[in-house]
C-alpha cells in the first residue's frame, strides 16, 4: 500500500482543478505519493485497477455525475480497508454525516490547511 519508495499513496478526487492541484502539492510536500482524479467516474476507474495501492482517498462530496456518496460506496465495496477523508467547501451537513455513518473515516472542510491535513492523515494512516 505504498509506492516503490515506501511512501503512502493518496488518491485525491475533486472536480475543481485548483483544489486538486493545491491538495496534491500539499500532500507531496508532506511526503505522500499522489494520484489525482477530476471526476467520480475517473476515480472509480483508477481505484478499480489499483485499489490495493492506495492508503487513503480524499474525496470531494459535491461533484457532477458520480457525487462523493456514490463514489465512496463503490470504492468501499471494492476495498473496505481503504481509509477515506470526505472533503467539502460546506460545513459537515446531513449529507456528509450520512456518508460518515456509512464508514467514512474523517471529514475536512475546504480550504485545506497544511497542518490540519497533516494531522488528520497521520491519525488515519501514520507516516
User: Residue 59 burial (CB < 10 Å; 0-12/13-18/19+)?
Assistant: buried
Provide the CA 67 distance to its chain's centre, in angstroms.
13
Give pLDDT, residue 91: 74
Give pLDDT, residue 74: 96
Give pLDDT, residue 89: 85
Give pLDDT, residue 119: 96
Per residue in 67-100, pLDDT tens?
999 999 999 999 999 999 999 987 777 788 889 9
List of the chain residues with pLDDT < 70:
1-4, 127
List the CATH code of the domain at 9-121: 3.40.50.2300
The phi, psi pair for 62, rounded to 5°, reads -110, 110
Cα 40 to Cα 46: distance, rounded to the nearest angstrom = 10
Give pLDDT, residue 127: 58
What is residue 85's three-state secondary structure? strand
Locate the domains of the chain by residue range.
9-121
Amino acid at each position: 500500500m505504498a509506492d516503490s519508495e515506501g511512501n503512502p499513496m493518496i488518491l485525491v478526487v475533486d472536480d475543481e482543478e485548483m483544489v486538486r492541484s493545491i491538495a496534491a502539492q500539499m500532500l507531496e510536500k508532506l511526503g505522500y505519493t499522489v494520484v489525482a482524479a477530476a471526476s467520480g467516474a475517473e476515480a472509480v476507474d483508477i481505484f478499480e485497477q489499483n485499489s490495493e495501492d492506495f492508503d487513503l482517498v480524499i474525496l470531494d462530496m459535491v461533484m457532477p455525475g458520480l457525487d462523493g456518496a456514490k463514489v465512496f460506496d463503490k470504492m468501499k465495496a471494492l476495498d473496505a480497508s481503504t481509509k477515506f477523508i470526505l472533503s467539502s467547501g460546506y460545513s459537515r451537513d446531513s449529507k456528509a454525516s450520512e456518508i460518515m455513518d456509512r464508514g467514512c473515516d474523517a471529514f475536512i472542510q475546504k480550504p485545506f490547511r497544511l497542518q490540519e491535513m497533516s494531522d488528520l492523515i497521520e491519525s488515519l494512516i501514520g507516516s
